[in-house]
Amino acid sequence: MQKTATAAEAAQRKMPDPVAIAIARDAQGKYNPITLTWFMQASLDPPMMAIAIGKARHSLAAIRASGAFVLSFPSAAMGPDASFFGMTSGRDTDKLSRQGTPTQPAAKIDGVLLTGAVANYECRLTGEMEAGDHVILLGEVVAAHVNEHAALGRLFALGENRMGGVLPA
Ligand SMILES: Cc1cc2nc3c(=O)[nH]c(=O)nc-3n(C[C@H](O)[C@H](O)[C@H](O)COP(=O)(O)O)c2cc1C
């Protein structure tokens, strides 16, 4: 039997949610990471990714201004980074430097990849749609990268601000 709940209560039941980190160059020239759980693959051919970004986020202005973003899938060990990127705004903080997160240059866009992630997509912004208090940004994947270590676990949000890793079977 189902019982009536709020949408927020129902959302807690769908955990664990895979975590992603989007990185974009901001107006100050620094690469700013934001932790996300609202993202999806939106097209196979061409490959496209969609992310939902809150209207008040520093990242929204950064992605719109640069016209590109990296979508990175953090490994199980990257919980502290994802936590910090998801609790702190890049408006006044250089989050990547503060955490000492290893990065490497993107190949096709002005961006950086997260070296420890299981995979990184380089995306060019192709469109956006307002969705209540968020904006859905659509990016075409112009390059993809995977970690040379295939057996790294993925990072998941467990609900109530907790995150944990899940290792591949
Ligand atoms: C597990 C987790 C998931 C999150 N998912 C999203 C999301 O999908 N969209 C979003 O706009 N913010 C999300 N946030 C909140 C942002 O990461 C957070 O507000 C961040 O500090 C914004 O950084 P910015 O101001 O530098 O863009 C999430 C935070 C956490 C911890």
Q: How far is the CA of 127 from the centre of ligand 1 (A)?
A: 20
Q: What is the pLDDT of residues 6-42, one digit of tens each?
A: 999 999 999 999 999 999 999 999 999 999 999 999 9
Residues with CB under 6 A from ligand 1: 19, 32, 34-38, 52-54, 57-59, 86-91, 134, 157
Q: How far is the CA of 61 from the centre of ligand 1 (A)?
A: 14
Which pLDDT belongs to residue 167? Answer: 66
Contact 20, 36 (CB under 8 A): yes
The residues with which 102 forms a beta bridge, in sequence order, are: none
Is 90 exceeded by the pLDDT of residue 65? yes
Contact 32, 126 (CB under 8 A): no
Contact 168, 162 (CB under 8 A): no
Summary mean pLDDT of the chain: 96
